[in-house]
Amino acid sequence: MIARMVRAACLDRTLYEEVEADPGLTGQAVAVVVLSSVAAGIAAIPHGGVRGGVDIGIVALASWYVWALLAYWIGVYLIPEPQTRADAGQLFRTIGFASAPGLVRLVGAAPGLSALAFVAGSVWMLIAMIIAIQQALDYASMWRAIAVVLVGWLVQLIALGVVASGFPHPAAGV
């Protein structure tokens, strides 16, 4: 699994093809997503305490799931190419492994590196997800994969903002 995570983080297109084709790797893909979410939570502990870290880890996991569903729907039903043939498992496995760069967020637990680690991890994951989606959905056009990633990511961010607005802000004293 670790070797696959390294290959995923190195943006190895053949890894994404292997993962797409092997339903036996679903558990590993889930583990990668969970590890990436835990990394986000651990990195948040110095800023929000253990409770904040747990919250961030849960939000990261839930956000990935929402984004994955959106990416599947957008990529398969909204803007497929003629050769696009994929089931949810294929796409979820590939983008699950594309979460491997999210482990870099662990560096964010070090003083002064939080913002850099989160930005670097997020950008790296988005790039990996573009490659994963292009491979899983058999897109000839990388631009179509970029569109799926960005549209899904923006919709997910908006949804997350709406949900978060319903919670009291810690500074509000509520």
Q: Could you read off the pLDDT of 118-158 as tens digits, one per residue?
A: 889 989 999 999 999 999 999 998 999 999 999 988 888 88
Are 71 and 132 in contact by the 8 Å Cβ rule? The answer is: no
Among 3-12, 16-25, 149-158, the least confident range: 149-158
The whole-model pTM stands at: 0.86
Given this model, what pLDDT does residue 172 score?
Answer: 45
The answer to whether the Cα torsion of 126, 91, 146, 11 is positive or negative is positive
Q: What are phi and psi of 64, to 5 degrees?
A: -60, -45
**Domain positions in the chain:** 2-164
Are 40 and 54 in contact by the 8 Å Cβ rule? The answer is: no
State in Å, rounded, how far the first CA of the chain is from the last one: 44
Question: Does the pLDDT of residue 173 top 80, yes or no?
Answer: no
Among 6-10, 68-72, 145-149, 165-169, the least confident range: 165-169
Q: 169: pLDDT confidence band, cut at 50, 70 and 90?
A: low
Given this model, what pLDDT does residue 90 score?
Answer: 92
Q: Residue 2, Cβ neighbours under 10 Å: how many?
A: 8
For the chain, what percent of residues have pLDDT higher than 70?
94
Q: 30: pLDDT confidence band, cut at 50, 70 and 90?
A: very high
The answer to whether the Cα torsion of 159, 161, 44, 4 is positive or negative is positive
pLDDT digits (tens, 9 = 90+) for 34-44: 999 999 989 88
Q: What is the residue-wise DSSP string for 94-136?
A: HHHHTTGGGGGGGGGGSTT-HHHHHHHHHHHHHHHHHHHHHHH
Question: Does the pLDDT of residue 80 top 70, yes or no?
Answer: yes
Given this model, what pLDDT does residue 126 score?
Answer: 92
Given this model, what pLDDT does residue 174 score?
Answer: 42
